[in-house]
Structure 1
Amino acid sequence: MKRIFFLFFSLFALSLHAALQEEAVSLNTPTGTIYGRLILPDDKASFSVVALLIAGSGPTDMDGNTTMGNIKNNSLKYLAEGLAENGIPSLRFDKRGVASSAAAGLQESELRFEHYIADAKGWIDFLSADKRFTGVVVIGHSEGALIGLMACRNNPKVKGYVSLAGAGRPADEIIEAQVAAQMTPEAVQKQVADINASLKEGREVTDVPIYLQTLFRPSVQPYLISWYRYDPQKLIASLEIPKLIVQGQTDIQVSVQDAQRLKHADSRAELLLIDGMNHVLKVCNSMNPQEQMKVYADPSLPLAEGLVDALSRFIRKLS
């Protein structure tokens, strides 16, 4: 009997997966082509608003995986599939310089935060030109939430915005908090703060101590200057579209306080805290970094319960 049940379950899962359609898509930019995947529900009558998924920081691909440490969890892939199973199409893409979009990458000294914003705007235009869709909802994960905020500004093609584990503070404040959390000596914390103060004013720093070169090497400073310009609290308050802030309560990279900061900045935004959800959108009931990393690198784990349903409800209201 058990074997019959598992056979039935396997066939059901296979038929459910087969009901989804995927299209390879590409976006031409001045510095190269960026590649993505458009996933569609089988029921074409359900097409209306399409979700644009924007991945987080570092060498993160369209599925939410990163080459840094060879971490694979498939978080964004599962999110796209879950939305499609709820009748919502979505597009996700490899960031410039990553995976299939590697050729579109720039030298580190040439890369600016605005390149990522322009890419997101390009995908919004791409989706808006598709007659199958009536509008776009931007879902930004982690650093992608800040990129999404900028891409949504004054953009009538966007119907809604979701901050998914998005920071509630400017990047320089996050870096300083992370340095302090590592029990770094106060003298080094002050050096970090002084360097950040110069970068926030647009001035590169030449005399960076050797022990801070990884963080403030000369080639990355122009990117940091461009990144530090943006305050997510001010940006979310300026958006005149429906907004949803989603945050996991066991996220060790972005805190519940960050989500509450965003909510405080704009009381019109909806706030959803998901118990047990960590930064890669999976369940981890421990805040221990070692336990967290096991979840980060386990693609067999499903997304946290309630995440896909909450996003689907928000998007359906905009259709």
Structure 2
Amino acid sequence: MVLKNIFGLAVLFMTGLLSAQLEEKPVTLTTETGNIQGTMLLPRHSDKIPVVLIIAGSGPTDRNGNNPMMKNNSLKMLAEGLGNHGIASVRFDKRGIAESTEAGIEESSLKFETYIEDARDWIDLLKENDSFSEIVVLGHSEGSLIGMIASQDPTVDRFISVAGVGEPAAKQLERQLKAQPSFVWEQSEPILQNLEMGKKVDSVPQMLYALFRPSVQPYLISWFEYNPQTELAKLDKPVLLIQGTTDIQVDMQNVEQLHASNPKSEKVILEGMNHILKEAEMDRMKNIETYSNPDLPLKDGLITAIVDFIKNSGR
């Protein structure tokens, strides 16, 4: 019992020591439609260090990887994990979300390119800071595609895709719709075909309205234009692809598609890691339970893989 208590105190001491070595600063990106708020996490250092721009995935996701329905703190933990290894980071609320509400725009005006431009603007902001030795972009889920396009900027030194999709969004959506009862796909197919051709659809069945409502169609049309394999192939710089085996949102074939499109990329498969970067079973209900558990740590090996790539790969 005494040994257990001593061990527990030692863990608490080390955790507190690591936290004390990190400095958290608010950072703001000024845009034409309002400010986007973020957090810069800095290890205490004297030399120049790498900085990672963390780009969140789809939906109303904030800088910590949370949304109004689920709190898991995955991206916050990711930033802290990097910081404890001497790597700075910037993470931010998506425009219109959390403390970046004022930067929100009308849904009908939102395009996929809006998020790409935001990422590029964050990269430009990081360029102005002479504390950093290199800029690394890390995109999670939908943020992977955003990040790989923004990383075509020559000042970005490395790109990391975590749970990134490997084919155009329309193909993923088609597969999901075909898995539904046949009448769902029968009504969806002509809508999806028109959107892929860049054509809006005025009449949408009520059953499909949430997915294909007219106001969201401009975003879908712009998103469907991009093929992740084509975009990743354009990157002539170190690339790391990370995928978990128990991800119920993005399956393993996606990382293989991305790797094939850029054969020089490094690929890391983490057994038992799900979409929010936590240890999880493949059972859907048990897997989803982790999405609302902010106390569950990141999957072992994730931070190590990223740190090793940043500090050792391509040098």
Task: Normalising by structure 2, report the TM-score.
Answer: 0.96
In the alignment, structure 1 residue 21 sits paired with structure 2 residue 17: no
In the alignment, structure 1 residue 218 sits paired with structure 2 residue 214: yes
- Which amino acid letter does the alignment assign opposite residue 101 of structure 1? S
Separation (CA, whole Å) in 1 of partners of 2:7 and 2:198: 63
- Which amino acid letter does the alignment assign opposite residue 161 of structure 1? F
In the alignment, structure 1 residue 180 sits paired with structure 2 residue 178: yes
Contact 1:40-1:89 within 8 A present in 2 as well: yes
Pairwise CA distance, 1:229: 0.7
- Corresponding residue number in structure 1 for 2:41: 39
Give the alignment's Cα RMSD to 1 decimal: 1.3
**2:301 equivalent among 306, 314, 317:** 306
Pairwise CA distance, 1:3: 3.2
- Which amino acid letter does the alignment assign opposite residue 27 of structure 2? V
- Corresponding residue number in structure 2 for 1:196: 192
In the alignment, structure 1 residue 316 sits paired with structure 2 residue 306: no
Pairwise CA distance, 1:257: 0.4
- Which amino acid letter does the alignment assign opposite residue 54 of structure 1? I
Q: Runs of 4+ in structure 1 displaced over 3 angstroms?
A: 2-5
35-44 vs 75-84, which deviates more?
Answer: 35-44
- Corresponding residue number in structure 1 for 2:156: 158
Separation (CA, whole Å) in 1 of partners of 2:282 and 2:157: 35
Separation (CA, whole Å) in 1 of partners of 2:300 and 2:41: 21
- Corresponding residue number in structure 2 for 1:100: 99
Structure 1 unaligned blocks of 5 or more: none
Contact 1:128-1:134 within 8 A present in 2 as well: no
- Which amino acid letter does the alignment assign opposite residue 233 of structure 2? A
1:142-192 alpha-carbon deviations (Å, 9 max, x no partner): 000011011112x111001111001001111111112223xx232421332
Pairwise CA distance, 1:43: 2.6
The number of residues matched between the two structures is 312
Separation (CA, whole Å) in 2 of partners of 1:94 and 1:264: 32
1:37-89 alpha-carbon deviations (Å, 9 max, x no partner): 111112332x332110000000000000111xx20111000000000111111
Pairwise CA distance, 1:241: 1.2
Aligned positions of 1:153-302 closer than 5 A: 153=152, 155-181=153-179, 184-284=180-280, 286-302=281-297
- Which amino acid letter does the alignment assign opposite residue 197 of structure 2? E
Pairwise CA distance, 1:281: 0.2
Percent identity for Structure 1 against Structure 2: 47
Separation (CA, whole Å) in 1 of partners of 2:237 and 2:6: 49
Separation (CA, whole Å) in 1 of partners of 2:13 and 2:308: 28
- Which amino acid letter does the alignment assign opposite residue 178 of structure 2? A
1:78-110 alpha-carbon deviations (Å, 9 max, x no partner): 000000111111110011011010110111111
Structure 2 unaligned blocks of 5 or more: none
User: Helix, strand or coil: the match of 2:91?
Assistant: strand
Separation (CA, whole Å) in 2 of partners of 1:316 and 1:214: 44
- Corresponding residue number in structure 2 for 1:30: 32
11-20 vs 54-63, which deviates more?
Answer: 11-20
